[in-house]
Every structure is written in structure tokens, then in C-alpha cells.
Amino acid sequence: MSKGIASAEYGGTMSGNVNIITRAGTNRYHGSLFENHQRDEFDASNPFVSLTPAKEFNQFGGSFGGPIRRDRLFFFGAYEGVRSAQQKVLTGTVPTPEWRRDALARNQIYAPFFALFPDPTQPYATGAITGRATVIRPDARQRFGTPDSDSVQRW
């Protein structure tokens, strides 16, 4: 259970957070607006991949408050929205093509499993069974955009 402001560990699990705070209001209307807009065109390129991962991030919102009944009853509301569509650079250990070939020669049942992994993108030792791969994949937390076959997180 979380009381007060939710800590960072609950960021990906909670569907909302409501804070109720009491304090004196004002007899004047007031509010604020904000927007944080980020795009991949504004970022430096990653030296470990040939393509720059696509990114579009919009965080926006505002607040508004004022009197309902002068000196007695007040209201205040706030809204924050986030729209995110971005890709991540992933680096991991994958089976080498030589090892895949040898394993599949012994038993073809492993073919669907090996289809999940890309080929290594970095040099590896001769006879090694694994290598390192660096790839660009859609962010698993993608919140908007049209899902297609490339948005399935396979590796």
C-alpha cells in the first residue's frame, strides 16, 4: 500500500494517484499549463548502432482553481497526460549462426526457439556458441501508435 506521494517503485503498476490536500483557497481564479515535447531529431546519435532510435514523447497538463463561494468554498483540479512512442537500443547475448546450424542438424525442434533471436552484430570468437547483438526494438511500454508485427517484443 502506498500513502501520500507514490514512490518510484510503483510507477509502472499504479493506474492513478490521487492526493487530497487541504489548505486555504483564494478568491481569484488561477492556473498553469505545461508541456514537455521530445523527438529523436533533437537527440545525439548512439555510437553503438547505425540508426537513431525513433522517439516521440509528449508530457502535458495543467491546473486550474478558484472560488465556488467567496471565502468559504474553493476548487482546484489538475491534469497530466503522457503520450510516448519510442524505441530502445537493446544489447544481449545470442546464439551464433554456427551453433544454431549444429543444434538444428541434431534436432529441428529448436527452430522456433532460434527464430526468436537476431544474429550477433559484434565480432565473436571462432567456435563460440554465443555472441553479442545490439538491436533497436519498440519500447515495451509504448502507449500509443498503431501496433504492427514489428511492435511485438521478441528479444
Using the predicted structure, report yes or no on whether residue 140 has a pLDDT greater than 60. no
What's the average model confidence in pLDDT over 65-85? Answer: 88
Q: For residue 26, give the nearest of 79, 89, 68, 88 by alpha carbon.
A: 68
Q: Which domain holds residue 95?
A: 90-142
Looking at this protein, which amino acid is placed at residue 13?
Answer: T
Ramachandran angles phi, psi of 127, nearest 5°: 85, 0
Alpha helices in 14-141 (DSSP H): 97-106, 111-114
Specify if 62 maps to a domain.
no
Using the predicted structure, report yes or no on whether residue 85 has a pLDDT greater than 50. yes
Q: How far is CA 98 from the centre of its chain?
A: 34
Number of domains into which the chain is organized? 1
Report the C-alpha gap between 134 and 121 in whole angstroms.
6
What's the average model confidence in pLDDT over 101-112? Answer: 92
pTM confidence score: 0.45
Specify if 74 maps to a domain.
no
Specify if 29 maps to a domain.
no
What's the average model confidence in pLDDT over 68-91? Answer: 86
